[in-house]
Amino acid sequence: MGGDAAEGTRLSDPPGGPAARPGLVLVATPIGNLGDLAPRALAALRDADAVLCEDSRVTGGLLARQGVTATMIPLHDHNEAAQAPRLVDRMVAGEHFALVSDAGTPLVSDPGYRLVRAAIDAGVQVSAIPGPNAAVMALSLSGLPPHPFLFLGFLPARAGPRATEVARLRQLERAGLAATVVFYEAPHRLAEALAALAEGLSASRPAAVARELTKRFEEVRRGTLGELAGHYATAEARGEICIVVGPAPIEEAGADELDAALRAAFAAGLSLRDAAASVAEATGLKRRDVYRRALELGEG
């Protein structure tokens, strides 16, 4: 049961009550629609001794619109390694900080991990106020199986490393990974990213492109990777974008793992029927599919 006013819990109270006020609180902010700033998020920003932010112009604008004045301390990829120990010392000495990124959930393809790690190591209490996240929203709107899912962030910008990364994913799928995969992508690289995914995974794989989530021109386009790559080869993509790719079909996903497990079962002297039953149980694959593959391998 969640805390509420009747139990004497204020909006800004952390789990555990006011006495447990964390040294560091990770605060999610809107990914486009300012109405998505949660009341607890606002209260935490107001209560903090300082707000650690990527870009003080972005966060300053957000705070100003809410009538909040706060001390801001820049924390971004270029200064986080140096800043983290100093900030942790201050939290150990009793200061309370809120961490935000320019948009969405801090740490998710954004700075903050090194600070959180250092704070945990120093025994500082860390909490979070959950809220908007583009990857999870895209996943839930994609129409693709929501779990298991794998978040891979941005693909490499250059074609060579990008193809290598896609090949690595394909290899994982061939070893049994069957997860929906979510990527972030820049609009000017969307077409080439989709083409690389269609080529490296499969043009027939179901996918979705989620654009401008929570904003005026929010759009989710669903289709196969081949169809989406074809569409964006000519249509200009604007705004902020997530790509969601459906899981590899199970027979593809588990091909190598399945064959290895069947061969091991045959080598252990199991009959074809027993090998199929035990491998189906161990892998979670359908017994019928495993039996068919066992027949194809022609052993047992």
User: Binding residue for ligand SAM (CB under 6 A) from 99, 182, 184, 261?
Assistant: 184
Give residue number: closest CB to ligand SAM.
104
Stretch that binds ligand SAM, among 15-23, 164-172, 183-191, 263-271 (CB under 6 A): 183-191
Q: Which residues fall within 8 angstroms of residue 288, CB to CB, at 6 or more apart? A: none
Please tell me whether residue 134 binds ligand SAM under the rule CB under 6 A.
yes
Stretch that binds ligand SAM, among 104-112, 114-122, 157-165, 284-292 (CB under 6 A): 104-112
Stretch that binds ligand SAM, among 73-81, 119-127, 237-245, 258-266 (CB under 6 A): 237-245
User: Are the C-beta atoms of residues 243 and 194 closer than 8 Å to each other?
Assistant: yes
User: Binding residue for ligand SAM (CB under 6 A) from 125, 127, 214, 224?
Assistant: 214
CB of 228 or CB of 279, closer to ligand SAM: 228
Please tell me whether residue 103 binds ligand SAM under the rule CB under 6 A.
yes
Please tell me whether residue 38 binds ligand SAM under the rule CB under 6 A.
no
Stretch that binds ligand SAM, among 6-14, 111-119, 142-150, 234-242 (CB under 6 A): 234-242
Within the chain, residue ranges assigned H as helices are: 39-47, 56-65, 80-92, 113-121, 134-141, 159-174, 190-200, 225-234, 250-253, 255-267, 272-283, 287-297
User: Binding residue for ligand SAM (CB under 6 A) from 59, 83, 101, 202?
Assistant: 101
Q: How far apart are CA 31 and CA 42, in angstroms?
A: 15
Task: Tell me the C-alpha to C-alpha distance, in Å, between residue 256 and each of 185, 224, 266, 293.
Answer: 30, 24, 15, 11
Which one, of 6, 141, 24, 2, lies nearest residue 75 by Cα?
24
User: Binding residue for ligand SAM (CB under 6 A) from 47, 80, 173, 212?
Assistant: 212
Distance of CA 247 to the CA centre of its chain: 15
CB of 23 or CB of 32, closer to ligand SAM: 32
Stretch that binds ligand SAM, among 89-97, 173-181, 239-247, 267-275 (CB under 6 A): 239-247
Which one, of 126, 107, 113, lies nearest residue 28 by Cα?
107
Q: How far apart are CA 72 and CA 255, in angstroms?
A: 52
Distance of CA 176 to the CA centre of its chain: 20
Q: How far apart are CA 177 and CA 254, in angstroms?
A: 7
Amino acid letter at 89?
Answer: D
CB of 102 to ligand SAM, least distance (A): 7
CA atoms within 13 A on the CB side of 162: 20
Please tell me whether residue 241 binds ligand SAM under the rule CB under 6 A.
yes
Amino acid letter at 8?
Answer: G
CB of 59 to ligand SAM, least distance (A): 13
CB of 53 to ligand SAM, least distance (A): 13
User: Binding residue for ligand SAM (CB under 6 A) from 210, 276, 279, 290?
Assistant: 210
Stretch that binds ligand SAM, among 2-10, 64-72, 133-141, 250-258 (CB under 6 A): 133-141
Please tell me whether residue 242 binds ligand SAM under the rule CB under 6 A.
yes
User: Are the C-beta atoms of residues 76 and 54 closer than 8 Å to each other?
Assistant: yes
Distance of CA 77 to the CA centre of its chain: 19
| Residues of this chain that bind ligand SAM (CB under 6 A) | 31-32, 101, 103-105, 108-110, 133-135, 184-186, 210-215, 240-242
